Amino acid sequence: MTTAPSHPQPARPGPRIGVLGSYGGFNTGDEAILTCVLSCLRAQRPDARLVVMSRNAEHTRAHHPDADEVVPWEGVSRNHVLDVLPGLDLLVLGGGGILYDGEARRYLRLVRAAQTRSVPTFAYAIGAGPLTEAEDREAVRTVLADMDDVVVRDEESRLVLEEVGLEREVAVTADPALLLGPEPFTGTMMRDEGIPAGARLVGMSVREPGRAAEKLDEGDYHALLADVADFLVRRLDAHVVFLPMERHDVRHAHAVLSHMTAPDKGRILHGDYSPGQVLGFMRHLDVAVGMRLHFVIFAALSGVPVLPLPYSGKVFDFARRLGAPALVGVAREQAGLLLAEVDRMWDEYPRRRDDLGSRMRELSAAARETCVRCGSLLDALGEGGGSEDGTAAGEAPYVVEPRPLHA
């Protein structure tokens, strides 16, 4: 028995498409990805019935009205999920970084179960790595080989799949969240967060080491970010606002504040905001420095000068595509280099604005390619009578206009 949506809708006549990923409100970046994937599928097949497999069904039902049906897949019996698969016309895996040690096998068991039931499968701009555990590597190598199409979001992920031994064509596009639209972050919301009106604002993102960066020393990078925050407070006469993209980020933001010499100039966003509202908040910033990939993406989408602090391959890759400084990681001994890069970024940004805009348009176009490939697969499966460019018959192509850059 599946979980019904909070607002039941009449059955749709089109294909039944399942979407599987790390969804359920645990991470703002993943929720942004789900928003964009559902928007793509709805644009490609307006009559499709979209079935989201969520780690927290209540959250997904409440925050994603494009989902016609939500199926919990954690903390439930295996048959609960398997019973849903035979009724699907397509299972979409992703997007986002879900193929890594300890997690890849969990997602790919469901993908393999769909394949054994003759359900076509599509990898939607997924991220891969690190992959060192034998069971995860074997699952990636065998299950992805049998998928109908595999699209990854960055070159780093393609290289990881190649190293694992996957022998098939893998397309490289870009992160689905590059197509997210902003929602207003109002003056009232700013006041509720205690952010002073008219002040220059620096956005910062800090995260836990996690599996992607287990050797990262917490004390080192907390102190490093505190140095950067204090420098920007002095350099720009600014206030620093920490944006938690995941609930554990709050603890690390407090740790950075505790290292600052001017903690009174720091704030941590505490409200529960949608990805679109977080993106809307970015438009209030003057500069951004941070670790989390989607924090960097949101800042770049908003035309804010941003310095990524790479802690893993996915951030290195996006920084390279963004034309950001080629920093080699997040370590205390880099404090002088990092402060110099922050200073240079601020001084040179007016000259770099056009280049950033051009790069973001290219990245957004690459993100749209994933949607078109998914539509083309649906066409090949004979569902919906779509056109050659992957759009549903009678529908305009799925196009998200590039965001205007801010002065």
Q: What is the pLDDT of residue 313?
A: 84
Q: In the block, which residue shows the tokens 């903390």?
A: 75
Q: What is the pLDDT of residue 79?
A: 80
Q: What is the mean pLDDT of residues 226-247?
A: 95
Radius of gyration of the chain (CA): 21
Confidence of residue 77 (pLDDT cuts 50, 70, 90): confident
Amino acid identity of 124?
Y
Model pTM score? 0.89
Cα dihedral 283, 284, 289, 291 in deg (nearest 10): -60
Q: How many CB atoms lie within 10 A of CB 401?
A: 8
Q: What is the pLDDT of residue 81?
A: 87
Would you say residue 332 has pLDDT above 80? no
Q: What is the mean pLDDT of residues 57-67?
A: 97
Would you say residue 285 has pLDDT above 80? yes
* Phi, psi (deg, nearest 5) at residue 265: -95, 10
With b meaning 16 or more CB within 10 Å and e meaning fewer, what string describes 230-269?
bbbbeebebbbbbbbbbeebeebbebbbebbeebebbbbb
Q: What is the pLDDT of residue 72?
A: 95
CB 241 within 8 A of CB 203: yes
Q: Return the H-helix or E-strand segment holding 139.
A: helix 134-143
Q: In the structure encoding, which two tokens stand for residue 78, read together? A: 């295996």
Amino acid identity of 238?
A
Would you say residue 15 has pLDDT above 80? yes
pLDDT in tens, 129-140: 999 999 999 999
Would you say residue 297 has pLDDT above 50? yes
pLDDT in tens, 208-225: 876 655 567 788 889 989
Q: What is the pLDDT of residue 194?
A: 96
**β-pair type (287-290, 306-308):** parallel
Q: What is the pLDDT of residue 395?
A: 34
Would you say residue 287 has pLDDT above 90? yes
Q: What is the pLDDT of residue 214?
A: 57
**Average pLDDT over all residues of the chain:** 88
Mark residue 185 as left, alpha or beta (left: phi above 0; alpha: psi -120 to 50; beta: remaining).
Answer: beta
Q: Return the H-helix or E-strand segment holding 201.
A: strand 200-205
Q: What is the mean pLDDT of residues 365-372?
A: 98
Q: In the structure encoding, which two tokens stand for residue 403, read together? A: 């965001």
Total H helices, total E strands in the chain: 13, 12
Q: What is the pLDDT of residue 324?
A: 86
Would you say residue 87 has pLDDT above 90? yes
Confidence of residue 82 (pLDDT cuts 50, 70, 90): very high
Confidence of residue 333 (pLDDT cuts 50, 70, 90): low
Q: What is the mean pLDDT of residues 151-163?
A: 97
Q: What is the mean pLDDT of residues 125-149?
A: 97
Q: In the block, which residue shows the tokens 């994937």?
A: 37
Mark residue 52 as left, alpha or beta (left: phi above 0; alpha: psi -120 to 50; beta: remaining).
Answer: beta
**Proportion of the chain above pLDDT 70, given as a percent:** 87
Residues in the chain: 407
Best CA proximity match to 244, nearest among 200, 277, 278: 278
pLDDT in tens, 90-122: 999 998 999 999 999 999 999 999 999 999 999
Would you say residue 342 has pLDDT above 50? yes
DSSP string, 321-364: HHT--------GGGHHHHHHHHHHHHHHHHHHHHHHHHHHHHHH
pLDDT in tens, 251-280: 999 999 999 999 999 999 999 999 999 999
Q: What is the pLDDT of residue 402?
A: 33
> 251-260, 312-321, 394-403 — which one is most confidently predicted on average?
251-260
pLDDT in tens, 379-391: 999 844 333 333 3
Best CA proximity match to 84, nearest among 60, 107, 113: 113
